[in-house]
Structure formats: structure tokens, C-alpha cells
């Protein structure tokens, strides 16, 4: 099934075949020497260069006006950067409580059982940040790093911050 379109002369033209000559716009310009492209400027292939040519030369005003900062560099170079030493996924306090299983959470909020140990590192987080609140249940949180506020809030809830390597 070939898609078809109705053109200005009401011919049904299949899209995969070539358009008939009678429908080309150039038919109107037959006999007119320059076919609408002017005698002086002439219709040449790529008079100002292809693509982004001339961004620092003859097209400079356009690049400066509409694309400021396109050329040049920013910042310092860091040779042989090893990104894994900066890998430190974080979790906020309001999400730490969601790492405790659902059934265990219910019993802890009622006031039973001992303080759960939440090993944040085993869930893929290295640092605990202090945004949000913890319920007033003592909790042992293990992580590589704690922010000051996170440490204060965990201790305020009666919990303990344990550092793990």
C-alpha cells in the first residue's frame, strides 16, 4: 500500500515515485533566463560555505548575536581524572526510614522490639543528609558519611550513627 497525496493539479501522486514534470514549480519559470534567482547574484551551490562555516569570519555577527559563548573554553583541565573517588550517592533522613521493611516498621512504631540497624551502604548510598525528620524511634544508621544536621537529628530521635568503611 503506497501512500498518496493530492497536489495542486488534483493528480494523485504516489510518494515513492518521482513527481510528474507538470507539477514542478520551475514549469512557470520556463523562458525566464534566471528562473527567479537574479542575474547579478547568481544561484550558486554554497556561496557562504556549508554548515557552520565562517562562524569566526564572515558569519561572526550572527554567531555573536544568536550563539554567544559558542567558541572558546571554560574552566580548568583535570588530567587523568578518576571519578570513582568522588562517587558519593546521598540519601536524606526522610527516605532512610523507607529502607526499613514494612512489617518491621509497623512493630517499631508501636514501641516494640529493639532498634533496627539500617545499613545505608548496602542500599547503595554512602552519605546521609539531614533533610526531613525521623519518627521518634531509636535507630542505628550505618553509613560512610553523615552531615552535621543528620547526626543531630538521628541522635535527637534516640538513635546512633555508625561509620562504616
Q: Which of 153, 150, 113, 144 is nearest to 129 (CA)?
A: 150
Which pLDDT tens digit goes with each residue over 5-22?
A: 555 556 665 566 789 999
Task: Report the pLDDT value the prediction gives residue 82, as an integer from 0 to 100.
Answer: 96
For residues 108 and 6, the model is more confident at 108
Task: Report the pLDDT value the prediction gives residue 110, as an integer from 0 to 100.
Answer: 84
- C-alpha cell of 34? 534566471
Strand order in the sheet with 160-163: 117-119, 140-143, 160-163
Residue 86 per-residue DSSP state: G
Which pLDDT tens digit goes with each residue over 132-150?
A: 989 888 999 999 999 999 9
Q: Kind and range of the H or E element at 129? A: strand 127-129
What rounded mean pLDDT belongs to the chain?
A: 91
**Residue 125: partners with Cβ closer than 8 Å, 6 or more residues away:** 89, 90, 91, 143
Are the CB atoms for 103 and 113 separated by under 8 Å? no
Rounded Cα distance between 92 and 107, Å, is 23
Give the predicted TM-score (pTM) of the model.
0.59
Burial-class residue 12 by CB neighbours within 10 Å (0-12, 13-18, 19+). exposed
**Residue 71: partners with Cβ closer than 8 Å, 6 or more residues away:** 55, 56, 63
Tell me the C-alpha to C-alpha distance, in Å, between residue 28 and each of 7, 18, 41, 163.
Answer: 16, 19, 21, 82
Compute the average pLDDT of residues 103-123.
88
Residue showing cell 544568536: 66
| CA 74 to mean position of chain CA atoms | 20
Are the CB atoms for 72 and 104 separated by under 8 Å? no
Amino acid at each position: 500500500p503506497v501512500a498518496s497525496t493530492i497536489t495542486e493539479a488534483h493528480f494523485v501522486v504516489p510518494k515513492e515515485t518521482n513527481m510528474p514534470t507538470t507539477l514542478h514549480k520551475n514549469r512557470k519559470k520556463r523562458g525566464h533566463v534566471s528562473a527567479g534567482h537574479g542575474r547579478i547574484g547568481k544561484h550558486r551551490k554554497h556561496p557562504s560555505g556549508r554548515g557552520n562555516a565562517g562562524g569566526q569570519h564572515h558569519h561572526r555577527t550572527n554567531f555573536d548575536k544568536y550563539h554567544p559563548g559558542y567558541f572558546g573554553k571554560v574552566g580548568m583541565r583535570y588530567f587523568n581524572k578518576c571519578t570513582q573517588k568522588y562517587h558519593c550517592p546521598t540519601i536524606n533522613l526522610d527516605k532512610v526510614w523507607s529502607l526499613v521493611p514494612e512489617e518491621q516498621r509497623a512493630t517499631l512504631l508501636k514501641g516494640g522490639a529493639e532498634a533496627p540497624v539500617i545499613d545505608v551502604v548496602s542500599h547503595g548510598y554512602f552519605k546521609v543528609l539531614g533533610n526531613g525528620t525521623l519518627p521518634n524511634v531509636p535507630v542505628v544508621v550505618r553509613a560512610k558519611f553523615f552531615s552535621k544536621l543528620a547526626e543531630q537529628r538521628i541522635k535527637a530521635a534516640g538513635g546512633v550513627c555508625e561509620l562504616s568503611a
